[in-house]
Structures are given as structure tokens and as C-alpha cells.
């Protein structure tokens, strides 16, 4: 997958945001619908069938739930203020409602084989997202984790607590 673009983050809902001070662990639980678009090049197997082709793709994940865990430390910035510092994270995800897959030019235009593979993907969306969704979702979570990391580096802990 190349040139991937993600749509739907503006509709993201944060259901839970917490920090466990006894183990220094932050947690964010959020959900959204996402659309991924880009280009693909396939030359392998899927569902015990050969899968070949090149072109544009799109993937829709309906009601994606992501739980992000980030261990943190309390550090001091250049002004001596306490800040939250986190350098790593882990996450789990679950596509709750549905996923849809579309690969243009799959099997280089052979619509019969393409329809079969699309049917396999779309009828087995839970399997496909559980096994291959992390590739897509990790890029989104990486971007979010970097944004949170930068925010907490700039926001003194005192200002977060007062809020």
C-alpha cells in the first residue's frame, strides 16, 4: 500500500481519557469511522487464492475502536516545570460494525476473479481487519501518539491539573 490517505479523524470521539498515577500509565479509548485510500500492488495469496493486480484501493472501517496505552514519567522542562513525558505506547483495536474493501484493477481487469476476491474480503471483514488492520491503524495511532507527546511536552503538568 502506497500514498495512503486517511479520512474521518475529524469525527473521532474520545470515550475515555485516564492516567493511573500508581503505575504511570496513560490510557485513551476512542472510536471513529475511517476511510483509507491509496495505491496498491499485489502479487501473493489471500484466502488460499492468488491475488494480483495494481491500482487504487479504498478501505472503510465502521465504528473502529482503539485503546491506546502509554507509560509516562514526570520530567522537568527547560523552565523547571513538571511535564508528562512518554516515549512509547501500545494499542489494541477492534472494528465493531463492518469493513469494506475495494481494489480497482484487481486481477488486471478480470471481473469474475475480482468479484470473487472482493466477496471473500467483504464477507470475511472481521478476519481481514484482525489480521491486516494493524498495518493501517498503526499509522493513525503513530500520528496521534506524536501529537499527544508534543502537546504534553509543551503543557506544564500544573496547567493540565488546573484545567
Q: What is the mean pLDDT of each successive set of 10 residues along the chain, which is 163 residues long?
A: 92 93 93 97 95 98 97 92 91 98 97 98 97 91 88 85 63
Cβ–Cβ under 8 Å, residues 2 and 39: yes
Whether the Cβ atoms of residue 91 and residue 66 lie closer than 8 Å to each other: yes
pLDDT score, position 162: 63
Packing angle between helix 125-154 and helix 111-123, nearest 10 degrees?
Answer: 60
- CA distances 11 to 61, 68, 82, Å, are 13, 18, 32
Distance from C-alpha of 9 to C-alpha of 35, rounded to nearest angstrom: 9
pTM (two decimals): 0.86
User: Which of 55, 52, 59 shows the shortest CA–CA distance to 121?
Assistant: 59
pLDDT in the model for residue 163: 53
Residue that is written with C-alpha cell 500544573 in the block = 158
Among 64, 148, 46, which Cα is nearest to 107's? 46
Beta carbons within 10 angstroms of residue 28's beta carbon:
21
Domains of the chain: residue spans and CATH:
2-162 (3.15.10.30)
Predicted confidence at residue 1, as pLDDT, reads 78
Cell (9 digits) for 36: 483509507
> In this predicted structure, what is the pLDDT of residue 157?
85
Amino acid at each position: 500500500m502506497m500514498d495512503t490517505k486517511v479520512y474521518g479523524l475529524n469525527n473521532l470521539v474520545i470515550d475515555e481519557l485516564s492516567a493511573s498515577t500508581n503505575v504511570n500509565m496513560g490510557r485513551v479509548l476512542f472510536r471513529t469511522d475511517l476511510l483509507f485510500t491509496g495505491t496498491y500492488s499485489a502479487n501473493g495469496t489471500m484466502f488460499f487464492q492468488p491475488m494480483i493486480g495494481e491500482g487504487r484501493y479504498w478501505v472503510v472501517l465502521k465504528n473502529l475502536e482503539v485503546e491506546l496505552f502509554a507509560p509516562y514519567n514526570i520530567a522537568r522542562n527547560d523552565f523547571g516545570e513538571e511535564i508528562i513525558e512518554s516515549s512509547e505506547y501500545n494499542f489494541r483495536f477492534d472494528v465493531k460494525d463492518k469493513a469494506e474493501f475495494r481494489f480497482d484493477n484487481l486481477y488486471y481487469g478480470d471481473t469474475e476473479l475480482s468479484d470473487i476476491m472482493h466477496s471473500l474480503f467483504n464477507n470475511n471483514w472481521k478476519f481481514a481487519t484482525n489480521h491486516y488492520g494493524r498495518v493501517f491503524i498503526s499509522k493513525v495511532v503513530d500520528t496521534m501518539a506524536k501529537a499527544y507527546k508534543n502537546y504534553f511536552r509543551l503543557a506544564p503538568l500544573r496547567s493540565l491539573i488546573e484545567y
